[in-house]
Amino acid sequence: MTARGWDGLGDAILPEIRRIVLSDRAHAIAAKVEAFVRDVVVPFEADPRCGSHGPSDELVQEMRALAKTAGVLTPHIFDDGSHLTQVETAIVLQKSGLSPLGPLAVNTMAPDEGNMYLLGKVGTAEQKARFLAPLVAGEARSAFFMTEPAVEGGAGSDPSMMQTTAKLDGNHWVINGRKAFITGAEGAKVGIVMAKAEEGACLFLVDLPDPAIKIERVLETIDSSMPGGHAIVAIENLRVPADQMLGHPGDGFKLAQIRLSPARLSHCMRWHGSATRAHEIATAYACKREAFGKKLVDHEGVGFMLADNLIDLKQAELMIDWCAGVLDTGSLGTAESSMAKVAVSEALYRVADRCVQVMGGTGVTSDTIVAQVFQEIRAFRIYDGPTEVHKWSLAKKIKRDFANA
């Protein structure tokens, strides 16, 4: 743990819970990841290879080589393929998120982290050797192809609106359709494509690039941390051998559920780290900068914003740890991860917004990462389920539970 003032306060309040629940190995890995991100990764934030469609792959590979040397590459997955528990993963991924570049550097980033988790859980031995191993080694990136263009009435918040089709032709599936917002499609080596067969939704593993998967354009979005950006993609007569299907025909939504809760929780973990760093930067600004004869922090309006940050960060951390504990019981944690995703993404957005405000004009510049964190977390309130969709599904559960009581 750091000796920083606010983090120290957190340690004083919550020393035992995390220490009891967390193994020594999780603390040790988290400490190594934190030191690596703060000392080695943070200086790369000013690197000109960080573009609007994410850092270049050259930069990612350069950072990963350093992470490998430091022993922090893919820190949550071990050589035998086993994974830290979700509660352990929480602290490690939080530390990796202390810079928006950290998850890329240590290979805990989205969408690869969720894709690795899914492949580790449901892939066959052959599928793991071919598609998972290069991801765990940090040598390849992956993309998850589910969402479709809204203008064409495709799947978005409602995946059952899926229009991409899969038809069996001999020993191959033939896939046709268009996908939207596919993070990292540009530059990815591994794809997981969702398409609808007669039996229902299916997930297919594909090698990328493939001439049958055309990147039409990479969208201009407000976030900029994910390599390859977010692409609109046309899939035309993509032929996939039958043994590259994950699970069985019609398993697509069921398997996606396995990925969904841990993947959305891992976003909460990483962005908690970034919001924490933004809060540190805003705190330093408010404690040094003066206006009207005193430090900004001594103006109640500013001090209260920082106090509210502290409260939001701690509540968000507790939600993450609680949901991680639920997932560690083997539960799919569908309702719990909806609750955590809403609470954490909304809380972190408030934190990032306050950090911008505390820092005045400097807060909206690229001189610090605060403006980027604000923009990244704005997008997080939409992907992996918009806030309203999670609340809507929770309301359905409330009605169902009431009817069954």
Cβ contact 26:76 at 8 Å = no
Distance CA 346, CA 344 (A): 5
295-319 burial: b if 16+ Cβ within 10 Å, else e: ebbeeeebeebbeebbebbbebbeb
131-156 burial: b if 16+ Cβ within 10 Å, else e: bbeebbebebbbbbbbbbbeeeebbb
88 contact partners, CB below 8 Å, separation of at least 6? 22, 23, 25, 26, 29, 76
336 contacts ligand FAD (rule: CB under 6 A): no
| Cβ proximity to ligand FAD, 156 vs 209, nearer residue | 156
| Cβ proximity to ligand FAD, 141 vs 230, nearer residue | 230
Cβ contact 173:167 at 8 Å = yes
| Cβ proximity to ligand FAD, 229 vs 333, nearer residue | 229
Neighbouring CB atoms inside 10 A of 209's CB total: 15
What is the SS3 assignment for 115? helix
Q: How far is the CB of 362 from ligand FAD (least distance, A)?
A: 26
Return the range that interacts with ligand FAD (CB under 6 A); candidates 57-65, 120-128, 273-281, 382-390.
382-390
| Cβ proximity to ligand FAD, 69 vs 157, nearer residue | 157
Q: How far is the CB of 60 from ligand FAD (least distance, A)?
A: 17
Q: Scan residues 219-248 and list those touching ligand FAD (CB under 6 A).
A: 221, 223, 230
Distance CA 242, CA 181 (A): 26
Q: How far is the CB of 342 from ligand FAD (least distance, A)?
A: 12
| Cβ proximity to ligand FAD, 111 vs 363, nearer residue | 111
Q: How far is the CB of 158 from ligand FAD (least distance, A)?
A: 6
213 contacts ligand FAD (rule: CB under 6 A): no
Structure tokens at 125: 């031995």
Q: Scan residues 143-202 and list those touching ligand FAD (CB under 6 A).
A: 144-147, 150, 156-157, 181-183
303 contacts ligand FAD (rule: CB under 6 A): no
In this chain, which of 42, 284, 379, 394 binds ligand FAD, going by CB under 6 A?
379
| Cβ proximity to ligand FAD, 28 vs 150, nearer residue | 150
Structure tokens at 369: 């990462």
52 contacts ligand FAD (rule: CB under 6 A): no
Q: Give DSSP secondary structure letters for 313-366.
A: HHHHHHHHHHHHHHHHTT---HHHHHHHHHHHHHHHHHHHHHHHHHTGGGGGST
Q: How far is the CB of 207 from ligand FAD (least distance, A)?
A: 18
Q: Scan residues 75-114 and list those touching ligand FAD (CB under 6 A).
A: 111
* Burial classification of residue 220, based on how many CB atoms lie within 10 Å of its CB (0-12 exposed, 13-18 middle, 19 or more buried): exposed
| Cβ proximity to ligand FAD, 147 vs 276, nearer residue | 147
Return the range that interacts with ligand FAD (CB under 6 A); candidates 35-43, 257-265, 355-363, 376-384.
376-384
| Cβ proximity to ligand FAD, 41 vs 146, nearer residue | 146
Q: How far is the CB of 27 from ligand FAD (least distance, A)?
A: 32
| Cβ proximity to ligand FAD, 36 vs 380, nearer residue | 380
Q: How far is the CB of 10 from ligand FAD (least distance, A)?
A: 29
Classify residue 243 by its DSSP letter. G
Amino acid making up residue 266 = S
Distance CA 403, CA 175 (A): 41
What interhelical angle do 370-380 and 252-288 show, nearest 10? Answer: 150
370 contact partners, CB below 8 Å, separation of at least 6? 278, 281, 282, 352, 355, 356, 359, 363
Distance CA 338, CA 3 (A): 33
| Cβ proximity to ligand FAD, 295 vs 378, nearer residue | 378
321 contacts ligand FAD (rule: CB under 6 A): no
Positions that interact with ligand FAD (CB under 6 A): 111, 144-147, 150, 156-157, 181-183, 221, 223, 230, 379, 382-383, 386, 388-389, 392
